[in-house]
Structure formats: C-alpha cells, structure tokens
Amino acid sequence: MKSLVILGAGTAGTTVANRLHALLDSDQWRITIVDQNETHYYQPGFLFIPFGIYSKNDVVKPKRDFIPAGVELIMSPIEHIDAEHNRVTLAKDRRILAYDFLVIATGCQTRPEQTPGLKDGAWGHTIHEFYTVDGAVALAKHLRTWRGGRLVVNVVDNPIKCPVAPLEFLMLADSYFTEHGLRDRVDITYATPLPGAFTKPIASRHLGDILERKSIKVVPDFLIERVDPDARRIVSYDEQSLEYDLLISVPLNMGDEVIARSGLGDDLNYVPVDKHTLQSTKFSNIFVLGDAASLPTSKAGSVAHFAVDCFADNFLRLIDGLDLLPTFDGHANCFIESGFGKGLLIDFNYDVEPLPGHYPLPGIGPFSLLQETEMNHWGKMMFRWMYWNLLLKGQELPLPARMTMAGKMYR
C-alpha cells in the first residue's frame, strides 16, 4: 500500500484529492487529506460581499461534502513537514503521517501585522479589507452607512492571490456608489506598487484606460511603508503620502507558517518548484499545487485547476516509472467584474501576456478578451456554480489546461 498525503483542503487540495481518487487504484493507494478548518470558502465570492451582492451564506460549504468517500479527511492544524524523513506531524494528538508522496496545497493568507500601523486601533473602523470572509462582511456593514469621502485602495506588495481582485473592487465600488447616488461625494484612488494598473503591459493599458473612464485615479509605484491611522494617511518608502477617509487594504500575502517552520519556503513562505512540473526543487516526492507554490503566474483558482490537470497526468507517469513532462505553462483565465453588470476576461500564461480577442472559440466567444461585456459578467457569476459543482469535484472543465493562441490578437 502506498500513501499519498495532501496538505490543505482548499481549492487545489480538494480538486486533486477528487482527481487522484478517481485515477488511482484504491487497493494500492491510500489518500489522506488534512485541513484545520471545517469550512470551504469560495474566495472569489468575497469580492461581492461588501456591495451586498453576496452574503456569507453564498460563499461557504462544509469541506466534508467535497471529499470523496475513500479519501481520509483529518481535521487538524499541520505542525511540521519533515521532508527528509517523509512524514508530517499534525497538532491533533501529535499524530504522525508517513507518506510516499506529498502534495502541499496550503495556499496563502493575508498578513496585516506586517505593515506598521495597519492593524492598530483603526482596523475595522477607517481601515478595512475584503480578502477574508469576516473582513468582507464587516466592510459590507460599514459601506451601508458610509457617507462618502476619500476611498483609497492599497495593495501592500505583490504577489497577491487574484491580482485582479483589487481592480474589480475599484470598479464595483464605482458602480455601487453611483447606484446609491453617492458617486459625486466619493473620491476613488488606487495606490499600487506596480508601475501601472496591472502587471502585463497590454492589459495594464486596457485596464488603465477603463479606470480612467470611471474616474478612478491610479497612483503607481506606491510601495507602502506604514499607515498613520490618526492622520489617516498612508506613507510610501519614498515618502509619498496619501490621505484617506476609508482605506481598503490588501495586506501582504504569505504562505502558511508551517512552510517556514519546516524550512521549505522562500522569503514569503512559498515553496520553490519546477515551473513546468510543480515538483519541489529539493524533494522529488513533493509537489506543490495552488497558491502555496512559488511560481511566476497568478495565484488564482483557475491556475490551481490547470495545475491539477497537468499534475494528475504527470503523477500517473511518475508512478509508472516514466519521466515527468513539462506540461504546465502557467495558464491563467480570470474574469474581471467591472461594475454595472459587465465584466472582462483575461487569458494568459508564462510567455503570452493577456491579449484582446475571443474565448474559447476564435471569432465567436462567447466571451470577449479584455473588453467589457455583459456576457463576461455572466461568466463570472456562473463561475461559482462551476466551482462548487465541477471544479472542486475534479471534473474536467470544457476548457483546455494549456493556453491556446487561437482567437487572440496582437495589435
């Protein structure tokens, strides 16, 4: 009997548990998955909570409902990974799990305490966030009675999970305040450490233009050093200062502490992997899927899904003694909600930046790349159904794992 242990039952862990459970012979393989938290959060839904579009109930389900019978689910914090000796120590009963193969899928979390002044007294009052369910719910409550003023959205540093989420927040805020008759009393500013609205040049230009049309001001190259909560201003390392009445922070994102404790991570607790096979660069029986990996692509659910597709095929090769194929291309496919019932879509990988065009069918769509359409908005809203019903269950989506150039246009 061989043992496969999966750490983390979030998007990547749950998907890979389902996929491998279906593919591996249960007489020969024991699959165990560990998580500290009973609840599975549909994190893309957090974005909609502050604006009253979703409630907390729309984004939570029990983790157990998504783990197939035949896979052992253990609810416990993970204490330590001893990669030299192929075992994991859990907090609960100090149980030790030995493994032949390990999948790390512990994701990443926000760390507001890493920025001086951010988590002081004003946290939850004039400073809010939407990257956790509790933060998003508190912000919804705050916005219901907010009378307007200077709204500043700040990303502390990259990488963050879902790098388009702050842009979506800005555009939904514009839409929300317009609908509530408040827009002329709200000043919306985006302070980002990037040189423009987004990372890649063509998308940055498209998205920058859209923000400008919506009267959202972008302050680029703003790397925050500290918050001065009493003066209500954020200060960058090069002493630029921005005043706010309401600060929405996307705090520093880091991999889980268990990665640091186990000596497996980089400076932000992400695990270095081969970018085409997701195999740990240090241990050949460890693979890292989802946000926990140090990869030069977006940290997103869609990326985790494509990574699972490539990994599952490779894992079957590996156990049959074949070489791993360098199949993972960093493919990301993200709907960007842009307010007023519209959205955009971007599709890219390690080598090809987001380009305009149609997806998935060239010339037809139904989705348009880098353009605001109602169809893209429906794509985003349908994604929740796909997430719970297809993606987590490890089913193949009707989309290729590797990016295709068909339908994309260079200008």
Partner 1 sequence: MPTRTIAGKTVTVNDEGFMTNPAEWSKEIAAELATEEGLPALSEAHWKVIDFCRQEAAASGKAPTLRQITTGAAVSTKDLFALFPKGPAKKVARISGLGKPEGCV
Q: Which is nearer to partner 1, 298 or 314 (CB)?
A: 298
Residue numbers 162-181 binding partner 1 by CB under 8 A: 163
Q: Does 194 bind partner 1 (CB under 8 A)?
A: yes
Name the minimum Å distance from CB 307 to partner 1.
14
Binder of ligand FAD out of 20, 73, 139, 165 (CB under 6 A) = 165
Q: Which is nearer to partner 1, 56 or 205 (CB)?
A: 205
The CA-atom distances, in angstroms, between 223 and each of 110, 114, 241 are 16, 13, 11
Binder of ligand FAD out of 4, 13, 244, 369 (CB under 6 A) = 13
Of the candidate spans 38-46, 50-58, 217-225, 374-382, the one that interacts with partner 1 by CB under 8 A turns out to be 217-225
Bridge partners (DSSP) of residue 75 are 35
Of the candidate spans 32-40, 115-123, 203-211, 271-279, the one that interacts with ligand FAD by CB under 6 A turns out to be 32-40
Name the minimum Å distance from CB 363 to ligand FAD.
25
Binder of partner 1 out of 62, 201, 263, 400 (CB under 8 A) = 201
The one of partner 1, ligand FAD, none whose footprint includes residue 218, by CB under 5 to 8 A per kind, is none
Residue 321 falls in which region: left (phi positive, over 0), alpha (psi -120 to 50) or beta = left
Residues 62-67: contacts with CB within 8 Å, 24+ apart? 62/38, 63/9, 63/14, 63/35, 63/37, 63/38, 63/39, 64/38, 65/40, 66/9, 66/14, 66/18, 66/40, 66/392, 66/393, 67/9, 67/14, 67/17, 67/18, 67/33
Residues 263, 252 contacting (CB under 8 angstroms): no
Q: Which is nearer to ligand FAD, 290 or 365 (CB)?
A: 290
The one of partner 1, ligand FAD, none whose footprint includes residue 256, by CB under 5 to 8 A per kind, is ligand FAD
Phi, psi of 327 (to 5 degrees): -85, -25
Residue numbers 308-337 binding partner 1 by CB under 8 A: none
Residues 303, 337 contacting (CB under 8 angstroms): no
Name the minimum Å distance from CB 215 to partner 1.
25
Q: Does 399 bind partner 1 (CB under 8 A)?
A: no
Residue 357 falls in which region: left (phi positive, over 0), alpha (psi -120 to 50) or beta = left
The CA-atom distances, in angstroms, between 77 and each of 93, 102, 105, 205 are 11, 16, 13, 43
Report the side by side order of strands in the sheet with 96-98: 78-82, 87-90, 96-98
Q: How many residues bind partner 1 (CB under 8 A)?
A: 19
User: Which residues contact partner 1 (rule: CB under 8 A)?
Assistant: 157-159, 163, 193-195, 199, 201, 221, 223, 225, 237-238, 267-268, 296-298
Binding site for ligand FAD (CB under 6 A): 8-13, 34-37, 43-44, 46-47, 77-78, 105-107, 130-131, 161-162, 165, 256, 258, 290-292, 299-302, 304, 334
